[in-house]
Homo-oligomer: A and B are copies of this chain.
């Protein structure tokens, strides 16, 4: 239905490209070995190699001898040393600028995930949600991030996926920031958990409008809470060194 009159290796190249774009294959992360791909796709290793060559020629993947093949990041990721990161570390307002954009993008992602998400993706979201719920508050920042990531992936919008991927570093940092500062306050924790549940339910029930509103409100709430916190007395802790 889709492999119209093409050579097998070209079909494979197309499928791989599709996976990379949709985020099914995480950007800048190692993708399966040639032998694994060959077996999984039911073709010989040769065609896999030729497909990878073609994608390499287009600059979509990069393969390194002895290590493997990697999907090249579509949009430059913001590293720890980027100018934006500098701003973020020095200027308080940038944090809220980030939340502002985040509210937009995550809202859209949630809406699209509700509309276009496949059953598998909704299951992945469910899984991430339950895992996040299971772990007590302070230690689940990684799961929190994963939950949001699954939603974005289910949006089926490559531009959105890669844009949010490029914000990974500051985003992660912001998640840690919010959780560290707010989580020990019972009220905030309940709010956040309730928001997550709202977002989750909206997406699963495919209510796009509700999903967008919930996600945007959630981010906005966290941002406002941080801002109030900082305005009142306690300084917002910003500096963390984490890996994921």
Contact = CB atoms under 8 A, between A and B. Distances in A.
Interface string A52-94: 0111111110000100000011111010010110110011001
A100 B108 CA distance: 9
A154 to B, nearest CB: 14
Contacts of A13: 57
Q: Which of A9, A46, A56, A162 is packed against the most chain B CB atoms within 10 Å?
A: A162
* This chain: copies in complex: 2
A83 B57 contact: no
Contacts of A18: 91
A37 interface: no
A49 B172 CA distance: 34
A53 to B, nearest CB: 4
Contacts of A91: 17-18, 21, 158
Given A97-B158, A101-B163, A159-B101, A86 B60 contact: yes
A90 B53 contact: no
A81 B86 CA distance: 27
Contacts of A73: 83
A105 interface: yes
Interface in A145-167: 157-160, 162-163, 166-167
Main secondary structure of the interface of A (DSSP, over half): helix
A98 interface: yes
B97 A159 contact: yes
Given A46-B46, A108-B101, A159 B94 contact: yes
Contact of A49 (B50, B97, B108, B162): B50
Interface of A: 7, 9, 13, 17-18, 21, 46, 49-51, 53-60, 65, 72-76, 78, 81, 83-84, 86-87, 90-91, 94, 97-98, 100-101, 104-105, 108, 157-160, 162-163, 166-167
20 contacts: A9-B53, A17-B87, A17-B90, A54-B57, A57-B58, A58-B83, A59-B86, A60-B86, A74-B87, A75-B84, A75-B166, A87-B158, A97-B159, A100-B108, A100-B157, A101-B105, A101-B157, A101-B163, A104-B108, A163-B167
Given A75-B84, A94-B158, A97-B158, 13 more contacts: A17-B91, A21-B87, A53-B53, A53-B54, A54-B57, A60-B86, A74-B87, A75-B166, A87-B158, A101-B105, A101-B157, A104-B104, A104-B105
